[in-house]
Structure formats: structure tokens, C-alpha cells
A and B are shown apart, each in its own frame.
Chain A
Amino acid sequence: MTADIYTFKVLRYDAKEPERYASFSSYRVRVIPGLTVLTVLMRIRDELDGTLAFRSSCRAATCGSCAMVINGKLDLACRTQVTSCNSETIILEPLPNFDIIRDLVVDLTPFWTMYERIKPYLIRRSPDPEKEIVQSPDDRKRIDQFVNCILCACCYGACEVLRREPDYMGPAALAKLERFILDSRDERPDRLLELVNNGQGVWGCDTLLRCIDACPKEVRPTDAIVGLRQTLVKYRLKRAFGVGRED
């Protein structure tokens, strides 16, 4: 196999030392075909610079730890082949729209706060049956793409609205809400939808589709946002006729 020398430029910053400006460190690494960006980062930390900070765990595009910006594109480092970047220089930066903790590690607190705000769990009011709550294969299929979300925050990093409007809930949280709204088993009261019936919620989205583009798992958060908007309009009509679902 042929090996080529690549230059990796990695953004370095430490929130513990804010007086030192962010800067790039360059590492020259020999890469054989098949190596992923994550594998190279691990080699850099092992062999060249033990202080380099980045998150990683499953290395199989499942756990969502290693989202970052790779030559301008948001993706998981573990599923990005170095050779697929078509460039001998590879620039690695932390996810946008977050504060940096250290190097490629960002503070995801706002992301998780938004996730929690939409009440991301099945809400039931009927008593549990003895066995499973029956759900048809078609009903199960409706939530499929939103179930697939791995909460890696690529979409949050890609969102143009969040760049100017940090209070916006962001694509992942809204997609998660839609996952429950579409679940035939969920019985949340209509008023919980009011949580997103505002400029920080579904009406904040500019439908630029950046989130769809950034998602490594083929989830389409914009579909969720559009779906939620339709549901909100429907609920408003239902309420006008007195048939909404109250607490």
C-alpha cells in the first residue's frame, strides 16, 4: 500500500488559559489508505503530542463523540477516511456554535439543555398494559429516521440560526420532539407543544437545510420542524372545535 505524508492542522485552545489565543498546531503524518481522521488523531496524541484533546469512543459512527469540522465539513472523525478529503492538508476544528473546553472538545451543555427542555421521553396517561403497548409496523416506521439520531450535535454546529440566535432550540431537540409526537404510543398534552410554538422553537428555523446536510445518520431535522409546524396548526384548529388533548 502506498503511504502519503499529510499535514494535519488542529485548532488548539484551552479555556483554562484564556489569555493564550487559539492557534493551529501542525503535525505531519504518514497515512496509508483506509486510515480515518480519528485514527490519525489518536496517533498524533500517542506519538507526537500527548496534550491534544478530542473526544472519541466507539470508532464506528454510533456513539456520536467525535463530531468536528474536517476541512470545513461537519462530520464524525471516525467515519471520515483521510484519503476522501482530497487534500494533503487537513484542517480540524471544533464544532461551531459551542464554547471550546479544550482543543476539539466543546461544551455541549446548551445542546443538552435544549434536548431536556422538549421533554424527550414517552409520556403516557393510559395505564400500562400487562404486555407491550401494541404498535403497528407502519406506526413504528413513522418514527424511524428520528429514532436513528445519535445526538452527535453536528446539526447544532451547522445551524445558521444558532449562529445569531443562541436561544434557538436547534435541530436535534426539535427532531427528538417530533420522534415522540409521531409515536403512536405517546399521549403528551397539547400544551407541551406550546414549548416550541415560538421564535426559539419551530418558527425560528430558516429552512436552510444545513442540518440535513450535516447529519451523519441521514436524519432530516427540517422534516421534523415542518411536521411540528403542521401539527401546531392542526392543534390550533382542534382547539377551536374543542377536541384538543388537555392535561
Chain B
Amino acid sequence: MMHHDVIVVGGGLAGLRAAVGLCDKYDVALVSKVHPIRSHSIAAQGGINAALGNNPDARDDTCEKHTFDTIKGSDYLADQDAVEIMCREAINVVYEMEHWGCPFSRFPDGTICQRPFGGAGFPRTCFSADLTGHVLLNTLYERAVAKGVTIYSEYVACALAVEEGACHGVVLIDQVNGTFIPVPAKATLFATGGYGRIYFHSTNALINNGSGIGMAYAAGVPMKDMEFVQFHPTTLLGTNILMTEACRGEGGYLINNKGERFMERYVPKAMELAPRDIVSRSIQTEIETGNAFENELGRYVHLDLRHLGEKKILERLPGIRRMSIDFAGVDPIHEPIPIMPCQHYSMGGIDTNARGETALKGFYAAGECACVSVHGGNRLGGNSLLDTIVFGKISSVSIDDYLSGRAVTPAERVVEAKKEEMERKIRRLSAAGSERPFKVLDDLRKTMDACVGIFRTKGELETGLEKILAIRERYKSVRVSSPALHMNYELIGALELESMIDVAHATTLGAFLREESRGAHFRRDFTKRNDRDWLTHTLVAKDANGEPSVSYRPPVITRYQPMERVY
């Protein structure tokens, strides 16, 4: 048994920021299934939004305007009080990260560089070339090293220990030593990332499978707005590696097989810089109407950067160029990049409020695994890095408030009992069974791609639900090669698969029930937004029989009444 006041699960930006905020006052341990520097925050490219007004074209920018753009971008599903907090805090956290050493790109006057991004009224996306996640994650990890945060790398959280509406800690698998470790804690924070990998085509790292969300769900915390899944317009054909929105922010064009800048027909004013949900649907429509290129890897359109010139590409988009060469054999200085839309971001997640608190006492969530909700139906580019750092920080304050002025004693017995339950589960997974985990996972992902994609219909969603229920049955016969806990990736994958099935189920169910189109959720059979019936968050909780039960809660509206979303 390991003892700490606070356990932070997840070593990306949200988890690191929370740990850095708490470590002076509490005994904090940060646990991560990969070394923190390998977390998926590292892959974010384009930038982080804050109304600094550094760009000569953005002198009139304010956090109110950032707030409005975010709420409009969310198709009015975001909680407006939470968005106000995030956009106000944005300026503080960007300066804080800079003071901690973050090497942002600079304007000639030495201030932080800002570029235009989709759905934003001003160029307010702060960046470091096309490696913004990389520099932010390195800076926060450096800060954690400077402050001596205790870090357990390659420890996998596998269950929350809960009794009477309170969280008593977490059960970990130490992969290096191959043992279970029950960890009682006064407070537990999940910063475990999104659920992109429930899809077959995704820009996400392989580790982003929503397992944290599934663990919270199993422990009684509802999932919120799971049907809102962001499909990024520009991912590399074949590998689906992200080609940042900054490509378009810097002036890149989208071109179809007729040589047209087709966005002209969809959003003539914003063109390529319309929000992601709209651009992805436009590309998908081009693909479906025969305006796409095609080769053995699939159908695609072109992202053309050639007119930006060599100098700008090398200065602003060097990572994009490198990846295009390495993974598609295309140098964007000389050739257009073949791209297709695919899954990219999870708007939904663990139901939290604007303080990172959940229905479970002593349990918090922040970052992409959480749904506050600040992104509502569609997240704007540059707001996810912001979300992770702001709500990582705010969660650390909430945890401090919770632990100050009251004695919290986690019950070791509850955590120990959970550990024993997990031991039984491992024995079950390595006993006789006919299903190989990868086959079940493969079918789950293909089902999500086919049935819960960019365009959705009742029939497909029904089929999706049936298939997921069948997959859930098959999971009972999943068998792994070995019960050893020592660097057994197959076993960890099989454990996480159970969470992924629950997460996929909630996503599909939410999409099936929501008979309207809002943000990234588009129904071909209900093509309009319907505020009268559906201006509401979807909550999916686990009922006494282990089945998902759905309820709804209206979003918080402060100053911005829902309007038609036009760009």
C-alpha cells in the first residue's frame, strides 16, 4: 500500500498543472501509464487561445470576445459561466507558462506571437511554430521537476475505490514491478485524456482510449455529452496524423479534385477558417459527391500550402512539413498534402462543474477526460490546451479548499477490497475464453467509424447500439495470453477495453437519442438545431443493473442567448 494525500492520475498538461499547484502544501503523487513527457498533450500543434491582443490585427480583442466565440462555437451547449472563467483565466495561464520558460514564437516586438484560428473573431492563438503542445508539456514537466513532484511513471490506474458517495483512492498496477498497489488518498484527480481511440480512424495517441472516463462511470460518476465527438478536417491520408488547423490559420487552402477552393460553396466568408465541425462536414460532402481524389488508401482532398512559400512553411509549420515527408512522402513546399477528416477530440467526458468537482466526494477530473462543459457541441481550435491548463489549475484550488479545514480519512479497507476485486478480474481474463481482445476492439472501433461518424442517422445508430451490445457480450469471453502484470500490454489493453465498450455505448446512445443537429453531432434525419427540446446536456449514469440510464440537464446561460450560428 502506498500513501499520499492526493493522487493525480495522468501526466499530461491538466495532471501536471494540478500537481504543480498542490505540491507545496500536500503530499501529491502523479501517476501516469506512460512517462509524463509521452502524454498526448505533446502532440498538440496549433496553439493556445488567450486574448492578449499582441497581434496588430487583434488590438481590440478581449476575454469577453473570446468567451462569445467559444460559446457560439459550442453551438450554445457550453456552460457560459465556465467559459467566462476559462477565457478570463486564459491570459493569466499563458503568461504563467511563459514565465515558467515556455518558448513561444515571438512577434518582432518580442511579445508572444498569435495567429488566426477557426471560429475566432481575432488572431488570438498563441503558439510555438507547430509544436505548441510539445513546448507547453515540456515546460510543465520541467516545472514539476523543479518543484520535486513525486511521479510514478508506467503505473496504470485500473479502478476507483468508492464507498457511500466518496472516493477513497485508486488501485494501480505497477507495470515495471508487476504488482497491484492500492493507494488510499484524501483526494483523487483524473486527468486521463479523451476517448478518441474508440474510433478506428483517429488522430489520437494509442493511449487515449477513455479508460479514465470508464473507470469513473463504473464508480458512479455520470458521463456527459458523449455524443459530441470532434472530427478534425485535416488528418493525413493513411495514418490519420494531425495536420494542424494552423495550416489554414497561416493561409492554407482546401482543394477538391476539380481544383476548386470548395469552402467557398459552404462558408464563403470564413472559408477554410470556419469551425472544425463545419469544415469536416464540407470535406465529407465533397468526398461523398465525387469531388475527392482517390487512391488505394482512400478518398481525400488536398491541403495546399505551396503558395505560403518555403520561408513561411519552414518557420511556422516545420513539424507539419517533417511529418508529411516522413509519413506520406509529400513535401508541402512542392506538393499539396492529401488529407481526410477523422476523429480528433472528445467534447464529452466525466461530468464535472467549473471547479473540477464531480458527483463523488473527493473525486475530481480535468482536461479532455472531463466535460465541464466549456466546449459544448464543438470545440474551437486552440481551446483544448487552454482547457487542460486552466482546469488543471482550478482543480488544484478546489482540492485545496476541500482538504483545508476538514479532516478527510480515506478508508484503506475500501481500497484493499477493490484491489482484491481487480485480482479476481485478472484471473477471469486469463482463464479459458475464446475471444482475442484485439478482435473485439477492432470490431468496436469499426462500428464507431461506420455508425457514429460525421453524419449520423437513426438507422445507423440503431445498428451501432446492437453491435455494441453484442461486443459487450463477447467481452465476457475475452482471454489474454498471460496474467502477469509485468509490462503486459495485452492485459492492460484488455482491462481498458471494458471501459472503452461502456464509453462507446454511452456515445452511441446519446447520439441515437439526440434528435437534432448541434455542433459536431449532425443527424441527416434531423438537420436543424432544436433549442426547444435539445438545448441540454446528456448525462449517462450506470444504474443498479449496470445499464446506462440517461438524463438531461440544461446548460448554464448567463449573457449570451442562443442565436443562429452563422460564419
- Quote the shortest CB–CB distance from A182 to chain B (angstroms): 10
Interface of chain B residues 27 through 43 with chain A (CB within 8 A): 34-35, 37-40, 42-43
Q: How far is the CA of A236 from the CA of B101 in the complex (A)?
A: 27
Q: How far is the CA of A139 from the CA of B112 in the complex (A)?
A: 13
Interface of chain B residues 354 through 413 with chain A (CB within 8 A): none
- Quote the shortest CB–CB distance from A61 to chain B (angstroms): 6
Interface of chain B residues 110 through 169 with chain A (CB within 8 A): 110-112, 128, 131, 134-135, 138-139, 142-143, 145-146
Residues of B within 8 A of A51 (CB): 481-482, 488, 490
Residues of A within 8 A of B238 (CB): 34
Please tell me if B552 contacts chain A, counting CB pairs below 8 Å: no
Q: How far is the CA of A151 from the CA of B145 in the complex (A)?
A: 15
- Interface hub of B34, B106, B319 (most chain A Cβ within 10 A): B106
Please tell me if A72 contacts chain B, counting CB pairs below 8 Å: no
Q: How far is the CA of A116 from the CA of B147 in the complex (A)?
A: 11
CB of B207 within 8 A of CB of A147, answer no
Please tell me if B242 contacts chain A, counting CB pairs below 8 Å: yes
Residues of B within 8 A of A183 (CB): 101, 103
Q: How far is the CA of A14 from the CA of B489 in the complex (A)?
A: 14
Please tell me if A16 contacts chain B, counting CB pairs below 8 Å: yes
Please tell me if A134 contacts chain B, counting CB pairs below 8 Å: yes
Please tell me if A64 contacts chain B, counting CB pairs below 8 Å: yes
Q: Mark A36-79, 1 if CB is under 8 A from B, else 0.
A: 00000000011101110111111111111100000000000001
Please tell me if A133 contacts chain B, counting CB pairs below 8 Å: yes
CB closest residue in chain A, given B442:
A46
Interface of chain A residues 125 through 170 with chain B (CB within 8 A): 128, 130-137, 139-140, 143, 147-148, 150-151
Q: How far is the CA of A107 from the CA of B175 in the complex (A)?
A: 12
Q: Which of B40, B297, B481, B486 contacts A16 (CB under 8 A)?
A: B486
CB of A131 within 8 A of CB of B111, answer yes
- Quote the shortest CB–CB distance from B195 to chain A (angstroms): 15
Residues of B within 8 A of A115 (CB): 145
CB of B487 within 8 A of CB of A120, answer no
CB of B106 within 8 A of CB of A135, answer yes
Q: Which of A50, A79, A134, A180 contacts B110 (CB under 8 A)?
A: A134
Please tell me if A122 contacts chain B, counting CB pairs below 8 Å: yes
Residues of A within 8 A of B104 (CB): 132, 140
Q: Which of B103, B110, B139 contacts A136 (CB under 8 A)?
A: B110
Q: A16-B486, A59-B206, A101-B176 are in contact. Are A120 and B142 (CB under 8 A)?
A: yes
Q: A59-B205, A131-B95 are in contact. Are A79 and B326 (CB under 8 A)?
A: yes
Please tell me if B530 contacts chain A, counting CB pairs below 8 Å: no
Residues of B within 8 A of A53 (CB): 487-489
Q: A14-B486, A50-B480, A140-B106 are in contact. Are A121 and B143 (CB under 8 A)?
A: yes
CB of B42 within 8 A of CB of A58, answer yes
- Quote the shortest CB–CB distance from B295 to chain A (angstroms): 10
Q: A60-B43, A62-B134 are in contact. Are A132 and B112 (CB under 8 A)?
A: yes
Q: How far is the CA of A177 from the CA of B247 in the complex (A)?
A: 32
CB closest residue in chain B, given A136:
B110
Please tell me if B436 contacts chain A, counting CB pairs below 8 Å: yes
Q: Which of B43, B326, B488 contacts A63 (CB under 8 A)?
A: B43
Q: How far is the CA of A81 from the CA of B315 in the complex (A)?
A: 27
Q: How far is the CA of A108 from the CA of B296 in the complex (A)?
A: 40
CB of A57 within 8 A of CB of B131, answer no
Interface of chain B residues 88 through 105 with chain A (CB within 8 A): 95, 98-101, 103-105
CB of A147 within 8 A of CB of B103, answer yes
CB of A60 within 8 A of CB of B207, answer no
CB of A60 within 8 A of CB of B206, answer no
Please tell me if B239 contacts chain A, counting CB pairs below 8 Å: yes
CB of B487 within 8 A of CB of A1, answer no
- Quote the shortest CB–CB distance from B239 to chain A (angstroms): 7
Residues of A within 8 A of B319 (CB): 62
Please tell me if A9 contacts chain B, counting CB pairs below 8 Å: no
Interface size class of chain B, counting residues whose CB lies under 8 Å from the partner chain = 35 or more
Residues of A within 8 A of B296 (CB): 1
Q: How far is the CA of A150 from the CA of B37 in the complex (A)?
A: 8
Please tell me if B323 contacts chain A, counting CB pairs below 8 Å: yes
Q: How far is the CA of A108 from the CA of B153 in the complex (A)?
A: 11
Q: A50-B490, A51-B490, A105-B487 are in contact. Are A121 and B146 (CB under 8 A)?
A: yes
CB of A50 within 8 A of CB of B106, answer no
CB of B34 within 8 A of CB of A57, answer yes
Q: How far is the CA of A133 from the CA of B95 in the complex (A)?
A: 8
CB closest residue in chain A, given B178:
A16
Q: A64-B37, A105-B487, A137-B108 are in contact. Are A34 and B297 (CB under 8 A)?
A: yes
Residues of B within 8 A of A56 (CB): 206
- Quote the shortest CB–CB distance from A153 to chain B (angstroms): 10
Q: Interface majority SS on B: helix, strand, loop or mixed?
A: loop
CB closest residue in chain A, given B296:
A1
Q: Which of A57, A132, A180 contacts B205 (CB under 8 A)?
A: A57
CB of B480 within 8 A of CB of A134, answer no
Q: Which of A45, A60, A116 contacts B327 (CB under 8 A)?
A: A60
Please tell me if B560 contacts chain A, counting CB pairs below 8 Å: no
Please tell me if A185 contacts chain B, counting CB pairs below 8 Å: yes
- Quote the shortest CB–CB distance from B175 to chain A (angstroms): 9
Q: How far is the CA of A45 from the CA of B482 in the complex (A)?
A: 12
Q: A50-B490, A57-B34 are in contact. Are A62 and B43 (CB under 8 A)?
A: yes
Q: How far is the CA of A6 from the CA of B293 in the complex (A)?
A: 31
Q: How far is the CA of A76 from the CA of B211 in the complex (A)?
A: 26
Residues of A within 8 A of B484 (CB): 16
Residues of A within 8 A of B176 (CB): 101, 107
- Quote the shortest CB–CB distance from B271 to chain A (angstroms): 27
Q: How far is the CA of A131 from the CA of B99 in the complex (A)?
A: 9
CB of A116 within 8 A of CB of B145, answer yes
Q: How far is the CA of A102 from the CA of B102 in the complex (A)?
A: 35
Q: How far is the CA of A233 from the CA of B51 in the complex (A)?
A: 44
- Quote the shortest CB–CB distance from A52 to chain B (angstroms): 8
Please tell me if A238 contacts chain B, counting CB pairs below 8 Å: no
Q: How far is the CA of A45 from the CA of B492 in the complex (A)?
A: 13
CB closest residue in chain B, given A148:
B131
Q: Mark B66-101, 1 if CB is under 8 A from A, else 0.
A: 000000000000000000000000000001001111
Please tell me if B107 contacts chain A, counting CB pairs below 8 Å: yes
Q: How far is the CA of A64 from the CA of B134 in the complex (A)?
A: 11
CB of A57 within 8 A of CB of B207, answer yes
CB of A147 within 8 A of CB of B110, answer no
CB of A60 within 8 A of CB of B323, answer yes
Q: How far is the CA of A228 from the CA of B108 in the complex (A)?
A: 28
CB closest residue in chain B, given A46:
B438
Residues of B within 8 A of A137 (CB): 105-108, 110
Please tell me if A124 contacts chain B, counting CB pairs below 8 Å: yes
- Quote the shortest CB–CB distance from A103 to chain B (angstroms): 8
**Can you name 5 A-B pairs with beta carbons within 8 Å?**
A51-B481, A59-B205, A122-B101, A122-B142, A140-B103
Lowest 4 CB-CB distances: which A-B pairs, in order?
A122-B101, A50-B481, A134-B110, A46-B438
With A58-B42, A132-B104, A148-B131 known, 4 other A-B pairs at CB within 8 A are: A62-B43, A133-B99, A140-B106, A147-B138
Question: Footprint of B on A, CB under 8 Å?
Answer: 1, 14, 16, 34, 45-47, 49-51, 53-65, 79, 101-103, 105, 107-108, 112, 115-116, 119-122, 124, 128, 130-137, 139-140, 143, 147-148, 150-151, 180, 183, 185-186
